[in-house]
Amino acid sequence: MNRAEPHMATDAKSPGKSHWSRWKRPLTMLFFLMLIVLFTMLAQRLEWNEVFDNLADFKVRTLIIASGLTLVSFLVYACFDLIGRTYIRQNLTWKQILPVGIISYAFNLNLSAWVGGIAMRYRLYSRLGVSKSNIAKILGLSLATNWFGYMVIAGAVFSSGLVRMPPGWKLSSSALQGVGVLLLLLSAGYLAACRFAKRREWAIRGIEIDLPSLRMAVLQLALGALNWSLMAAVIFTLLPSKLDYPLVLGVLLISAIAGVITHIPAGLGVLEAVFVALLQHEVSRGSLVAGLLAYRAIYFILPLLIALVMYLLVEAKAKSLRISKKPK
């Protein structure tokens, strides 16, 4: 191939990219507007007295169980980075890694992946002497663990037919089952690549990624699926007992996709809108919103406050170390 050919290929691709770039912003804005309208309609139809009554009726035992599940979920997510330690073959202790994972996850949930998943990891791991290339590898492995784990659990739940779409929805239950099968195939493809691919190194948007071993890939999928299951368990604990856990899990997994599309930090309003739309025929809107508000407080706000304190302690410790190293 001569040198002109790559330029021709690049030029051929650019119109498609520019075409998508032109439409991406207006389509995203349209989705935002639709979401605002939907959430406004939901707020107007809610009996807020019922919401407050349900919030006041929560038992302390229920809140403790939900908080315990949240703690386990954050520890599981932090284990994503423990896999990363093995992946980059760097001598870091679990006491160094777990705080980074917990802080990053809390900021990621509330302030977007750019703040938590990327910026916070780069800052904290840099303090531990990890190179930028290895930080990028840890980040890439964590993202793969989360989303391939999602594919496994979502594929299993959707394809099983446990989630039934309400009548009149454009996405039918059978179509959702098809999506589930596709997700399982993608997960299997990832495992097959980790086992059989001869080319182990890949570059995605400038980030070099090495395919992990099959054993590590299986662990990734297991941890990722477990974390999504724990998130659903927290919500399930706070919602009316009439709802089945597989149904709650399925609705959470559907709402996650809507959250990714909108890029709204913490999926604020998206989670609530999807849950009410899919489950209002099962239980009252007021009880749903009350449970989801409690979930927001326990899984998002409380961990963020704790993570903020942890981060300030890490920064204070780093500052004291710098001062002690200065020549007197």
The per-residue pLDDT for 5 is 39
> What would the two tokens of residue 45 be?
């139809």
Q: Around Cβ 292, how many Cβ atoms within 10 Å?
A: 19
> What CA–CA distance (Å, rounded) separates 59 from 63?
7
End-to-end CA distance of the chain: 62
> What CA–CA distance (Å, rounded) separates 298 from 303?
7
The per-residue pLDDT for 9 is 41
The predicted-structure confidence for 248-268, as pLDDT tens digits, reads as follows: 999 999 988 877 776 666 666
Tell whether 6 is covered by a domain: no
Number of domains observed in the structure of the chain:
1
Choose among 235, 278, 233: nearest CA to 254. 278
> What CA–CA distance (Å, rounded) separates 258 from 273?
10
Tell whether 123 is covered by a domain: yes
The C-alpha R_g of the chain, in whole angstroms, comes to: 22
Tell whether 252 is covered by a domain: yes
> What CA–CA distance (Å, rounded) separates 123 from 312?
13
Tell whether 78 is covered by a domain: yes
The predicted-structure confidence for 53-87, as pLDDT tens digits, reads as follows: 878 889 999 999 999 999 999 999 999 998 888 87
Q: Residues 243, 291: contact at Cβ < 8 Å? A: no
Tell whether 21 is covered by a domain: no
DSSP-derived 3-state class of residue 208: strand
Q: Residues 128, 103: contact at Cβ < 8 Å? A: no
Tell whether 205 is covered by a domain: yes
The per-residue pLDDT for 46 is 58
Mean pLDDT value of segment 278-294: 89
Mean pLDDT of the chain: 82
Tell whether 46 is covered by a domain: no
Q: Is the pLDDT of residue 12 over 70?
A: no
Q: Would you say how long the chain is, in residues?
A: 328
Mean pLDDT value of segment 141-153: 94
Tell whether 265 is covered by a domain: yes
* Domain with 164 in it: 59-316
The per-residue pLDDT for 3 is 41
